[in-house]
Amino acid sequence: MQFVQIRDRVDAEPKSAGASNLSTLAGVWVNSNPETTGITRMVITQSGSRLSLQVYAIGPEGLPEGVIDWGSVDIDVFYATPASQVAAGFTCLYDFGFVETRLQAMILKGLIVLAQIHKFKGGDNRVDYFVREYFALEHGRH
């Protein structure tokens, strides 16, 4: 068996092997919730056939002084179907030493729906947790 669901199947004759379209993800994405206590902004940058992500989160001093820069990581891009050439989502991992944060995102109706999975390490008394937030492409900042 070469598939586990019908959408995994692709034509025997593959479509033209053009370059993947990563532009759907590239740009500056702003949290749609102005009261967020988490990630406020994401910058996705394209370099050739790769994308990287830089995350900015709210710190104890709030905005704009208290922004925490998570740094930049490469992201793994995913597509809507195995035959698609337009990027539809991504995943990546930030390891802060005391916590690992996995980000999983998909584009839905022009927004990025971002799932954050936070897993604490080494006897930390905090419980692991999940957050979902929505991000809109900042106008003029692509």
pLDDT tens for 26-52 read 999 999 999 999 999 999 999 988 999
pTM: 0.85
75-84: list long-range contacts, CB under 8 Å, 24+ apart.
Answer: 75/44, 75/51, 77/20, 77/22, 77/25, 77/51, 78/106, 79/20, 81/7, 82/7, 82/8, 82/9, 82/10, 83/10, 83/11, 83/14, 83/15
CATH number at residue 107: 2.40.128
- Examine residue 47 and state whether it is found in any structural domain, yes or no: yes
Q: 3 pLDDT band (50/70/90 cuts)?
A: low
- Examine residue 41 and state whether it is found in any structural domain, yes or no: yes
Q: Which domain holds residue 116?
A: 25-137
- Examine residue 9 and state whether it is found in any structural domain, yes or no: no
**Is residue 13 predicted with pLDDT exceeding 60?**
no
Among 25-29, 82-86, 107-111, 127-131, the minimum mean pLDDT is found in 82-86
**Is residue 62 predicted with pLDDT exceeding 80?**
no
Counting the structural domains of the chain, the total is: 1
